[in-house]
Amino acid sequence: MKINGKVIAVTGGGNGIGRELVLQLLVRGAQVAALDIKKEALEETEKLAGQNKAKLSTFVVDITNRDAVQKLPDQIAARHGAVDGIINCAGIIQPFVRLKDLDFDAIERVCNINFYGTLFMVKAFLPPLLARPEAHIVNVSSMGGFLPVPGQTVYGASKAAVKLLTEGLHSELLNTNVRVTVVFPGAIGTNIAANSGVGLGTQTDAEKSSFKMLAPAKAAQIILDGMEKNKYRVLVGQDAAFMDFLCRLSPERAARFIYNQMRSLLPS
């Protein structure tokens, strides 16, 4: 779906990839509804929109609140006239601990935001999207959604659920006007750890990875290019592309490779 002239809602629009998606959508000619739980973050996105600010609306919303999400399509349509697409980018990681040490509050928070937040958005917006001449749903999963990352087992499970949800939705909508894309980012230089309330150890730990982190702006560009080309799946970053290949070739080898890359982040 071509972005110019469309109305797109973006979750996680207050920071990281989500913010970059909002700003680049505006540059590409879209009207955008930026959604985030943090008012201050949305205000900063609005400032960064500059001359495109008139095409932007912001909504402070908790995407784990199903009732609040159900009201969004009408609220956005009242501001922009319609909704042509959604990009579900909001997500958090878990503390870097083994499953046996992860408390249920953290487990529920990760699953509620990453999976149920995405599901609630899809369910709320699908009826109005099906009524549009053309529409698009983009769900952001993760490299951790197809590859086991030690210390992120529940995060990976939530993102694997997003992957299968999106692929199933794609099949269900093949004969409709709604296109569906699933996105797998690798390591992106965002504040996801801080925004998730998670410490990642020292900078040296992060630097041990064989792959350089991709800038959020570049990640957003790749995602939007994939959206405009109606791609089935989008791999964001050399690490995501390499690990996708390695997982297909030898899943166990890929798992061991990532374990060796990430084990320094786990408590001893």
**CA 192, CA 189: separation in Å to the nearest integer?**
9
Quick check: is 133 in a domain?
yes
**2 domain residue, yes or no:** no
Would 115 be classed as within a structural domain?
yes
Q: Which domain holds residue 138?
A: 7-265
CATH of the domain at 147: 3.40.50.720
H-helix or E-strand spanning residue 227: helix 216-228
**pLDDT digit string (tens) for 144-200?**
999 999 999 999 999 999 999 999 999 999 999 999 999 999 999 866 656 656 655
Q: Evaluate whether residue 50 is within a structural domain.
A: yes
Structure tokens at 236: 């964001």
Of 197, 14, 38, 199, nearest in space to 105 by CA: 197
- State whether the Cα torsion 14-18-21-25 is positive or negative: negative
Residue 55 lies inside a defined structural domain of this protein: yes
pLDDT tens-digit map of 70-104: 999 999 999 999 999 999 999 999 999 999 999 99
Give SS3 for 130: helix
Q: Which residues are catalytic?
A: 155
What's the predicted TM-score (pTM) here? 0.93
132 is a domain residue: yes
Count of domains for the chain: 1
- Does some domain include residue 1? no
